[in-house]
Amino acid sequence: MQSFKITNKTNEKAISLHLGVCDTFLTRLRGLMFTGSIPVDGGLLFVNPAEDRINSAIHMYFMSIDLTIIWLDSTGKIVDKVLARRWKTLAAPAENAKYIIETHVDRYDEYNRGDLLDITDETNS
């Protein structure tokens, strides 16, 4: 599986994230469903075929953990974020998004709307 390192260029105090990637319909559909836990610096990076709001919507059905959801545009700028509660949240970003990050709830305060993130492929590193 491909993996990416996410670094917050705006907030240097934010820990870097190390994320698997979901870039097909099936991997985006499954996401973290049925996952019992994730590392504090872990999660998934969803890559949408196009930058929009509809395909960037998320649901928390069948989830056993809460998540921080961060939406990015194609330049890596955070356009929205939400603290998603298991079995309760259905959300879409306020603006078009190309990427979605699903990560640990403890990361919520470290990533804010307008922050610029660096996305580095670390698959072969």
For the CA atoms of 2, 5, 82, 15, the dihedral, rounded to the nearest 10 degrees, stands at 150
Residue 116 pLDDT greater than 80, yes or no: yes
Sequence-distant (≥ 6) Cβ neighbours of residue 25 within 8 angstroms: none
- Please give the model's pTM, rounded to 2 decimal places: 0.91
- 18 conformational bin, left if phi > 0, alpha if psi -120 to 50, beta if neither: beta
- Tell me the pLDDT tens digit for each residue of 62-104: 888 999 999 999 999 999 999 999 988 889 999 999 999 999 9
* Assigned CATH topology for domain 3-121: Jelly Rolls (2.60.120)
| In the chain, where the domains are located | 3-121
Tokens of 59: 């649901």
Which pLDDT value is given to residue 34? 67
Residue 113 pLDDT greater than 90, yes or no: yes
